[in-house]
Chain A
Amino acid sequence: MTLTKLENPFTFKRALVVNVVKEAPDTNTYIIKLNETYTANPGQFNMIYVYGLGEIPISLSNLPEHRGTYTLVNHTIRIVGAVTRAVMLHVGAGSQVGVRGPYGNGWPMREIEGRDIVIVAGGIGMAPLRPVIKYIENNRERYGRVNILYGARNPELLLYKYELNKYTVIPNTKLLLSSDIPAEGWLHYVGFVTDLINYVDVDLKNAIALVCGPEIMMKVAIKNLLKKGFKNEDIFISMERRMRCGIGVCGTCQFGHYFICKDGPVFRYSDIEEYFWVEGI
């Protein structure tokens, strides 16, 4: 058997954190400088490495920004475990990290051209959908009406608060916000973001939905979207699992017969329907 020498896929690019934006009490966006022209599709992710502590899969939370010889990428990270805690407490502007990627398929931006788009995001689930909004904004003529439904447990936990209003000035775009609980000064919907599916204003015959959030929220979202009249094959969700390699060899991100890292993280609902409702598959 002859095989050309395989580059070690686990090597990463050294990258510098140039800025940190506080999003919520437990969430920051890290703006990372890569010394190369780097491109990624909305919905793809990088493996972010912190020396001695480990690697975590984190989706890109903005379109890569090309600046001559280098590229700026955004990663929005919430404290959930040992590595994210270390990132939060010890990584700041001027810190180094390792970055490899992009991995995964991303949202089907090509396929959904010409369609009305409903974006349903819960909490940190907005991160991989934010580049979708930016992409549509840059290519507005290619897409139909856009409805952005975004909610969090409370208003403080909403990400990108400093720019959410700007989404409403994108032509033909509607933004619906929700908070699970009432809060002072909150003028938007109180309840689950999935309730907002009732209020979408799109041509249902030509609409697709992009969903990301906690698994329970995505389950409810799918139920509501189906009830609303969306077809199985017109709903896309971005999923999460334990993930170690990003390239389909460590086996830890399996979901049914899919590897979330290489077959996903974005799935067409009709492709995963048989597994989606089976607890623990």
Chain B
Amino acid sequence: MIKVPELQQVKLYAGKLSDLERVMEYLRQRFNGATFMGYKLQNSMPVFGEINSLSDMPIRVSDIQRPGYYELIAGYRFRLSYASPKWYLLPPEHSILKVSPDYEFVDSTNNSLANKVVMFGIKSCDLNAIAVLDAILIGKHPIYTKKRSSVIAIIIEECLEPAETCFCSITGTGPTVLKGYDLAYARLDEDTVIFKAGSTLGEEIIKATGLREAVQEQVKSYYNAVERAMSIMSTRLPHLEEIQKALRRNVINEKLWKTLSEKCTGCGNCNYVCPTCFCVEIVDRVEESYTTRTALWTACCTYTYGLVAGGHFRRDLYMRYRHFILHKFLFYPKQTGGLLGCVGCGRCTTWCPLGLDLKETLVKVVEEVR
């Protein structure tokens, strides 16, 4: 978990919302032709996509998130859209190969050059999710690798107030960032923005935009807000180690998993909105004179997962629900060299149409041990 004192070694700068606009302008000029990607409003619903200006971003709304519930109201505390950077880095459908009937490659998917992409305003949880995807896919998955390599700058927005479904302080993935970013900002109030640099590029941005060092009062209220956010979230779940220990002890507790997944219909929404879920099916889309081998997001909670010709390795839904949870908390760390697969964003809970709460599941698993 990130400790506040660790943060205090970073120099903070203060500005207004208009300075954020200037940061964007600076980056636009510096990286001529770059595409800006981030959370944006589309038909008054936040999605993840291309941003043309600050006004595309959800800067004048707050999201209310509860299990199975999402609403936007006027405000300045936007947390997350259901969509994460995964929508860009590992698109829901992507062609991996085009083949002619005589087994010739019609068009190699690696030919086109990647654009330059600036991730703008993404949250700490999503940054951590990118690190998880990197550990699994980079250098191995051609589309992901290409898209990931196109990212030339990462600008983070830190949350100073968690949504009801958030628990990033438990997973150690937020709300603040320590590394892996160029510039981070946080909105202290409606118009005041605190900035910090995470790389040479970040320092250059701060210099070029003439941001002033934050005054002591601003520094104090920033750290207070961070601490408050963390303490709110810390009451929502037991410690990570305790959760993991309880999960390990309950792997074979079939009855428990059946109860926990009682209301799960196996729709897979949790998997799709999860910023670290990466599983894909590969299907052939046959056209008149060629076929496109297409990767499609799949979900471990759906029936397909574990199905093989002539049998099924995870026939019952509880087995797949269990895999979803165990994978996030026990298996990912072993697959990624230590990174947790859950970044505490709470999307699985907000976007479950039945309102199943991951936190509740974890608490119940821990209680089973106690």
Contact = CB atoms under 8 A, between A and B. Distances in A.
A249 interface: yes
B140 A1 contact: no
B272 to A, nearest CB: 13
B219 interface: no
A53 B279 contact: no
A241 B313 contact: yes
B306 A10 contact: no
A241 B110 contact: no
B101 A52 contact: yes
Contacts of A9: 140, 142
Interface residues of B, number: 63
B204 interface: no
A82 B104 CA distance: 23
Interface string A51-64: 11111000000000
B278 A249 contact: yes
Given A52-B291, A247-B140, A278-B252, A3 B149 contact: yes
B315 interface: yes
Contacts of B313: 215, 241-242, 280
Interface string B188-207: 00000000000000000000
Contacts of A191: none
A11 interface: yes
Contact of B139 (A6, A97, A215, A281): A6
Contacts of B279: 250-252
B347 interface: no
B284 A54 contact: yes
A260 to B, nearest CB: 10
Contacts of A244: 280-282
Interface in A221-273: 240-242, 244-245, 247-252, 254, 256-257, 259
Interface in B126-174: 136-142, 144-146, 148-149, 151
A2 B150 CA distance: 9
A240 B101 CA distance: 29
Contacts of B330: 257
Interface in A59-104: 80-84, 96-98
Interface string A36-54: 0000000000000101111
A9 B110 CA distance: 10
B79 interface: no
Contact of A14 (B103, B278, B281): B103
B283 interface: yes
B236 interface: no
The residue among A6, A259, A278 with the most chain B CB atoms within 10 A of its own CB is A6
A96 B103 CA distance: 8
A242 B108 CA distance: 26
Contact of B306 (A14, A84, A241, A259): A241
B82 to A, nearest CB: 20
Given A96-B103, A252-B305, A7 B110 contact: yes
Contacts of B142: 6-10
A280 B97 contact: no
A82 B280 contact: no
A5 interface: yes
B307 interface: yes
Given A3-B145, A52-B291, A279-B319, A250 B284 contact: no
B99 interface: yes
Interface in B277-294: 278-284, 286, 291, 293
Main SS of the interface on chain B?
A: mixed
Given A14-B103, A281-B251, A257 B331 contact: yes
B103 A51 contact: yes
A6 B278 contact: no
A257 B338 CA distance: 12
B283 A54 contact: yes
A65 B308 CA distance: 30
A223 B225 CA distance: 58
Interface in B44-98: 96-97
A51 B285 CA distance: 11
Given A1-B149, A98-B103, A251-B278, A10 B319 contact: no
B307 to A, nearest CB: 6
B215 interface: no
Contact of A82 (B137, B309, B326): B309
26 contacts: A1-B151, A6-B140, A7-B110, A8-B108, A8-B142, A9-B142, A12-B103, A14-B104, A52-B291, A54-B284, A80-B310, A98-B99, A98-B103, A242-B305, A247-B140, A248-B136, A249-B141, A249-B280, A251-B279, A251-B300, A252-B281, A259-B335, A278-B251, A278-B252, A280-B320, A281-B251
Interface of B: 96-97, 99, 101-105, 108-110, 136-142, 144-146, 148-149, 151, 251-252, 254, 278-284, 286, 291, 293, 295, 298, 300, 304-310, 313-316, 318-320, 322-323, 326-327, 330-332, 334-335
Given A9-B142, A51-B291, 17 more contacts: A7-B110, A51-B99, A52-B101, A54-B284, A81-B309, A242-B305, A244-B282, A249-B280, A252-B305, A254-B300, A254-B327, A257-B327, A257-B335, A278-B251, A280-B315, A280-B318, A281-B323
